[in-house]
């Protein structure tokens, strides 16, 4: 076995395999659209989402005059972290 054959079998072929595997794993990164980063311009229309589309009617919106008859909150936690 010559030196060229040895280098081909033990160096070039494994490096080629590693290169092909690396390209296959990185192809999604290069094919996707760029991600949105905070501070960038947002070029899309706003989309409002709700888990209960029927609850979007005018009868379900909170009013200031009904604030005194509202049930007391019993939920714990949230953004304040009051457990």
What are the pLDDT digits (tens) for 1-38? Answer: 899 999 989 999 999 999 999 988 888 777 777 788 88
What pLDDT is recorded for position 58? Answer: 55
What pLDDT is recorded for position 80? Answer: 60
- For the stretch 32-46, pLDDT in tens is 777 888 888 888 888
The whole-number average pLDDT for the span 66-80 is 61
What pLDDT is recorded for position 13? Answer: 92
The owner of tokens 């659209």 is: 33
Rounded alpha-carbon distances, angstroms, from residue 31 to 38, 41, 42, 53: 22, 21, 21, 35
pTM for the full predicted model = 0.37
């Amino acid at each position: 076995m010559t030196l060229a054959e040895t280098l081909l079998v033990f160096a070039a072929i494994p490096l080629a395999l590693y290169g092909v595997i690396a390209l296959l794993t990185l192809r999604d990164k290069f094919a996707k659209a760029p991600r949105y980063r905070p501070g960038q311009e947002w070029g899309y229309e706003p989309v409002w989402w709700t888990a209960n589309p029927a609850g979007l009617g005018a009868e379900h919106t909170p009013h200031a005059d009904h604030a005194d008859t509202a049930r007391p909150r019993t939920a714990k936690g949230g953004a304040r972290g009051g457990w």
